[in-house]
């Protein structure tokens, strides 16, 4: 048990380090202006056009770090800063989100798998842990051991889907970054310094998903031991 808490502590520390490093990297590369003078929105539109994708719109969305691709309405949503800025950081984020649009257009297998899990994870993420805890409490009650066990196992299964989702997200995110960087380089969109900055920023962004996946796995193993470890 002590070993588990040490593991959680290491993952939490790693998450904090990655998150803070990412913020510092984007702050740094947000000061590296593009020689071509293109904004994040213009970068995104050009990448879509170069891939022959005409059904996807590029729009601005409020907030910070709110950038995402929405496959339902086929929109590349860029935060206000990324949409308007003409920096290495903005180019990296914009091209990465278009990378997801390219995945969608080409029916990238990992993205398809993740999309199928979205409804399950969205519906169960808020109560799967409570099912496990509730099941354990019922299991400890006299005469309700089996009923509580089955409830807890149901919670574990739902948590398992969430963990699976977090690991499937890894190749999706890494592939989107690789597509973005390949396009930026092949089309000579960035200078060497700008490209290096964009690559570094995306590398640290991807690491946030890796830490999240490891954290999800650690929690699944912990609750799995609580539920299954006490069974004879």
217 secondary structure, DSSP code: H
Provide the residue ranges of all domains of the chain, joining segments of one domain with +.
2-228
Q: What is the DSSP string of 48-89?
A: HHHTT--S-EEEEESSSS--EEETTTTEEEEEHHHHH--BHH
Closest CA to 134 of 226, 24, 45: 226
d(CA 127, CA 212) in angstroms, rounded, equals 19
pLDDT at residue 189 in the model:
95
For 35-71, how does the pLDDT look when each residue is reduced to its tens digit (9 = 90+)? Answer: 999 999 999 999 999 999 999 999 999 988 899 999 9
33 secondary structure, DSSP code: B
pLDDT at residue 232 in the model:
52
Q: What is the mean pLDDT of the chain?
A: 91
Closest CA to 184 of 174, 194, 175: 194
For 108-162, how does the pLDDT look when each residue is reduced to its tens digit (9 = 90+)? Answer: 999 999 999 999 998 888 889 899 999 988 888 766 668 889 999 999 999 999 9
pTM value? Answer: 0.88
pLDDT at residue 142 in the model:
61
pLDDT-derived band at 230, boundaries 50, 70, 90: low
pLDDT-derived band at 19, boundaries 50, 70, 90: confident
């Amino acid at each position: 048990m002590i070993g588990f808490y040490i593991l959680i502590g290491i993952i939490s520390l790693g998450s904090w380090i990655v998150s803070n490093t990412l913020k510092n990297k984007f702050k740094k590369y947000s000061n590296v202006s593009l020689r071509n003078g293109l904004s994040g929105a213009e970068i995104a539109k050009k990448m879509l056009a170069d891939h022959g994708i005409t059904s996807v719109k590029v729009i601005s969305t409020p907030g910070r770090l709110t950038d995402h691709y929405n496959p339902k309405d086929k929109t590349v949503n860029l935060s206000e800063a990324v949409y308007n800025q003409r920096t290495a950081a903005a180019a990296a984020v914009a091209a990465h989100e278009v990378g997801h649009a390219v995945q969608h257009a080409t029916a990238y297998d990992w993205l398809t798998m993740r999309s199928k899990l979205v409804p399950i994870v969205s519906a169960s993420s808020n109560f799967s842990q409570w099912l496990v805890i509730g099941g354990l409490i019922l299991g400890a009650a006299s005469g309700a051991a089996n009923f509580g066990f089955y409830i807890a196992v149901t919670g574990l299964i739902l948590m398992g889907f969430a963990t699976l989702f977090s690991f499937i997200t890894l190749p999706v995110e890494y592939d989107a970054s690789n597509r973005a960087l390949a396009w930026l380089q092949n089309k000579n969109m960035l200078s060497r310094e700008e490209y290096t900055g964009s690559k570094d920023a995306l590398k640290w962004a991807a690491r946030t998903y890796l830490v999240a996946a490891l954290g999800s796995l650690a929690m699944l193993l912990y609750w799995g031991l609580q539920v299954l470890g006490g069974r004879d």
